[in-house]
Amino acid sequence: MIAPDLTVSIPDTIRTVHFIGIGGSGVSGLARMFLAAGVPVSGSDRSESQNTRDLAELGATVTIGHDASNLPDNADAVVYTGAIWPENPEFLRAKQLGMAVLHRSQALRYLIGTHRLVSVAGAHGKTTSTGMIVTALAQLGADPNYVNGGVIQALGASSGTGADDLFVIEADESDGTFLTYDTSIALITNVDADHLDHYGSHDAFDDAFVQFAEEASEAVVISSDDPGAVRVGARLTHSRVLTFGEAEDAGVRVSDITEQGPVAFRVEYAGRGADVQLQVPGRHNAINATGAIAVLLSLGYALSDAARAVSSFGGTVRRFELHGIESGVSVYDDYAHHPTEVAAALQAARSVVGEGRIIALHQPHTYSRTQLMSAEFARTLEDLADHTVVLDVYGAREDPIPGVTGALVSDAFDDEGRVSYVPDWQAAAERAAAVARDGDFIITLGCGDVYRIIPQVLGALRGDESA
């Protein structure tokens, strides 16, 4: 992992830009924004993906594999993420040439400029909440700029340029860079401690969110239910704080949540109420939508209009996304990579699976999180899935830690008959298919590359010999 060096000066004008890791969920959105602005874009990634193919079709020069020769001599800026290794040859070459080597957060700051900024932060729910706000704004006739961590279904993209002054972003707290933006309205979905490899302690994690909220120039929208958010909220001195959630004293209160199928609920604010019917399942999405409505209220929209507009949200890619049905078994994918997110995804699945069972295909993400939270993952999976197949750890930016494998999760199950540790992907796909029967759900869980196993799972359900 490369720690962001935010002391590097951002050029006043970027006429050409090169991205290291251009296919990433966040970086690909930035690349789209530069292309839309007419800036020539080049970039590289370790493997081909839909993002790299889409960017190439849009005019970017994309190379698969990292090599110093990929770096254009005339790049005004080279953008990287913390996910690359310090010895990346393009990163080292750009440093050697004295180029402006910018962390992705700095490239985003360049794009934001002086726009009025809505920043969405929190350990969970950022991508969905951002997608809800952007979708609703479009329904309300606005034309915002936005950069999200996932593709918004209704818009078909993770980023977009608009004619309005408003800019909506998913603000990443993992490395502290969410504190570098000049935020107007801050939405805090929750403060569930994560990324302690960066922060070092729960207190430091809380401190960062307090700073993020206090520096918002217009308003803070924060959960009334999440214990961490309540801790942070109690410390705020901001003049305009709007809480949201199920708590009796929430400023924007959600109630009467109906979870069977697409979630429905009632939301109330300042003596007025509105009923909302979403297109996506899950209690957590009722809460996310209420936070999005609270942001829209802070932007000056009426409750009835905000509730209607949020109802149009159709989901984001890799958030409880159906990929196919074979032999009566529905195969879903979800980005969940923290126990709280896994719980939300499985509860959403339970609300729509009916009499069927849930088979989870879990890919632990990062060695440090697996080492720290393996028992919590096991409890969540054992409580909420009928059977779990555990893959090996997706290391992402981290070096392996001796003894830390997916077996840490499977070994922590109380009922060993409810879990299988299968590091080989083909064998894992076949195991999940063998357990499943007509009416069941298989759901892949993780923010690494676990979604790539889905064709093997569908093939195994069909009985393909080469699945």
Summarised one tens digit per residue, pLDDT across range 217-244 is: 999 999 999 999 999 999 999 999 999 9
Check 52, 126, 290, 444 and give the catalytic one. Answer: 126
114 is in an annotated binding site: no
95 is catalytic: no
95 is in an annotated binding site: no
Distance in angstroms (rounded) separating the CA atoms of residues 420 and 427: 11
The mean pLDDT value for 167-193 works out to 91
% of the chain beyond a pLDDT of 70: 97
Distance in angstroms (rounded) separating the CA atoms of residues 170 and 147: 7
Distance in angstroms (rounded) separating the CA atoms of residues 349 and 326: 17
pLDDT confidence of residue 467 = 46
pLDDT confidence of residue 199 = 63
pLDDT confidence of residue 158 = 84
Mean pLDDT of the chain, nearest integer: 91
Q: Which residues contact 221 (CB under 8 A, 6 or more apart)?
A: 185, 186, 187, 188, 242, 243, 244, 291, 294, 295, 298
Backbone angles phi, psi at 394, to 5 degrees: -90, 110
Q: Which of 46-55, 107-116, 399-408, 453-462 has the lowest mean pLDDT?
A: 46-55
Beta bridge mates, 276: 265
Check 52, 63, 81, 127 and give the catalytic one. Answer: 127
pLDDT confidence of residue 106 = 94
Check 90, 170, 382, 430 and give the catalytic one. Answer: 170
170 is catalytic: yes
The DSSP element (H or E) to which 445 belongs, if any, is strand 441-445
Please determine, for residue 290, whether its predicted confidence score (pLDDT) is greater than 90.
yes
Q: Which of 189-198, 356-365, 389-398 has the lowest mean pLDDT?
A: 189-198
The mean pLDDT value for 139-168 works out to 89
Please determine, for residue 196, whether its predicted confidence score (pLDDT) is greater than 60.
no
* Chain-centroid distance, C-alpha 444: 15
Is residue 120 classed as helix, strand or coil in its secondary structure?
strand
Dihedral (CA of 106, 111, 113, 117) sign: negative
Please determine, for residue 362, whether its predicted confidence score (pLDDT) is greater than 70.
yes
Residue type, 244: F
Distance in angstroms (rounded) separating the CA atoms of residues 467 and 465: 6
pLDDT confidence of residue 317 = 66
Confidence of residue 303 (pLDDT cuts 50, 70, 90): very high
The mean pLDDT value for 324-343 works out to 88
123 is in an annotated binding site: yes
Q: Judging by DSSP bridges, how do beta strands 157-160 and 419-421 pair with one another?
A: unpaired
Higher pLDDT, 122 or 465: 122
Instruction: Let me know: does 109 contact 10? Beta carbons within 8 Å.
Output: yes
Please determine, for residue 121, whether its predicted confidence score (pLDDT) is greater than 50.
yes
pLDDT confidence of residue 151 = 78
Distance in angstroms (rounded) separating the CA atoms of residues 20 and 87: 12
Confidence of residue 169 (pLDDT cuts 50, 70, 90): very high
Query: What is the end-to-end Cα distance of the chain in Å, rounded?
Result: 34
The mean pLDDT value for 395-413 works out to 89
pLDDT confidence of residue 201 = 80
Please determine, for residue 315, whether its predicted confidence score (pLDDT) is greater than 80.
no
Please determine, for residue 464, whether its predicted confidence score (pLDDT) is greater than 90.
no
286 is in an annotated binding site: no
Please determine, for residue 138, whether its predicted confidence score (pLDDT) is greater than 90.
yes
Q: What is the pLDDT of residues 2-39, one digit of tens each?
A: 777 788 899 999 999 999 999 887 789 899 999 999 99
Higher pLDDT, 91 or 317: 91
Own/partner pairs, 217-220, CB within 8 angstroms, 24+ separation: 217/182, 217/183, 217/184, 218/184, 218/185, 218/298, 219/184, 219/185, 219/186, 219/298, 220/185, 220/186, 220/188
pLDDT confidence of residue 125 = 86
Distance in angstroms (rounded) separating the CA atoms of residues 388 and 372: 19
Instruction: Let me know: does 388 contact 359? Beta carbons within 8 Å.
Output: yes
376 is catalytic: no
Question: Where in 259-335 does DSSP place strands (E)?
Answer: 262-269, 272-281, 321-326, 329-334
122 is in an annotated binding site: yes
127 is in an annotated binding site: yes
Distance in angstroms (rounded) separating the CA atoms of residues 467 and 449: 18
128 is in an annotated binding site: yes
